[in-house]
Amino acid sequence: MRYVDEFRDHALAKRLAAIIAAEVDPERDYRLMEFCGGHTHAIFRYGVQQLMPPRLRFVHGPGCPVCVLPMARIDQAIALTERHGVTLCTYGDLMRVPGGDRRTLFQARAEGADVRMVYSTQDALRIAREQPGREVVFFAIGFETTTPPTAVALEQARAEGLTNFSVFCNHVLTPPALAAILADGARIDAILGPSHVSTLIGTAPYAFVPEQHRLPLVIAGFEPLDVMQSTLMLVRQINADTARVENQYRRAVSEDGNRKAQALMARVFRVRERFAWRGLGEIPESALELAPEFAAFDAERRFPVACTPAREPRGCECPAILRGEKRPTECRLFGTGCTPAHPLGACMVSSEGACAAYWSYGRTRDRAAAG
């Protein structure tokens, strides 16, 4: 397939692997954090880690929006359906994420709650139009990439006078999360920057990484050769003792990003004062809420529900995995008490979660490497 196959070329991958191996200093370690869950899955699906020299290791970051959502927000969504009788619409990944009492949205639906899986915000709008007597709440989640569609839906609802539609907003921001990880003393040498998020926000918001933390950052595409070329770019910066933002994904990412989408987001949303992240704690100015002009469509204002912090299941290392401190196979529940069929943590549920990537592609590889 044109524009895909050339980024998965086996011969080019071998040549890049040989160049990286030649340029890596055998006397030092290279710990490269891939922030985005899409990169994690590409690394494991295509065996990129196995093509790297022994001293170069990828460290998994928190770039999975389902994984970083606190369990209390799942509990709050379930409470919206049970206490206020709303129709809750959301994406498939969220349906299986356990809340604080281990209940999921799937279980709530089985017990009678009106929870519906949708593929887009437009599906939720359609349900609200077709059932004007029902209060329809869209459970919005995601980094900057998925925020514009929510903004479009809100502007449509306001224009149509669709008063039975509202949004439970859980959109989060990438740069503050990255800043929090680095401020916490993450043991990494460089960063593979997000792909899709960067198409929207551009490269400029990452300038603080080299300026404040003296770490190289390369915006990397999702294909295996993208990841490998970006890795080589980071290795060269590390070897040269330089730190700057580079853009490998130039076919999609610019310095300024998508200004039209940014303007849309600015009209509809405001930055929250604080927001709790799973594994990272409360981070100032790291998430979005609806602007005052859209208060009538804010589910948290229309249907208030107390949000009580929840504890992680005993033995679950999801928070440490999200911070890049542990690998999934270092969790004693991985593959035993926690599997895709019966997940305990969001990292095993989401299609972008590190535990799901290890389960699907990396179980035997990682154990062999550890042995």
Is 364 a residue whose pLDDT tops 50? no
What residue has token string 């490497």? 369
Q: Does domain 71-173+257-302 have CATH number 3.40.50.11740?
A: yes
Q: What number is the average pLDDT over the span 160-177? A: 97
Question: What are the b/e assignments for 6-26, b being 16+ CB within 10 Å?
Answer: ebeeeeebeebbeebbeebee
> 172 vs 340, which has greater pLDDT?
172
Over the stretch 254-283, which tens digit does the pLDDT of each residue have? 999 999 999 999 999 999 999 999 888 999
pTM over 0.85, yes/no: yes
Same fold, 6-63+174-247 and 71-173+257-302: yes
Parse the chain into domains and list their residue ranges: 6-63+174-247, 71-173+257-302, 317-363
Taking only Cα atoms into account, the Rg of the chain, rounded to an integer number of angstroms, comes to 21
Question: Which CATH code, of 3.40.50.11750, 3.40.630.30, 3.40.50.10890, 1.20.1260.60, is assigned to 6-63+174-247?
Answer: 3.40.50.11750
Distance CA 288, CA 334 (A): 33
Residue 205, SS3 per DSSP: helix
> 60 vs 364, which has greater pLDDT?
60
The pLDDT value recorded for residue 306 is 80
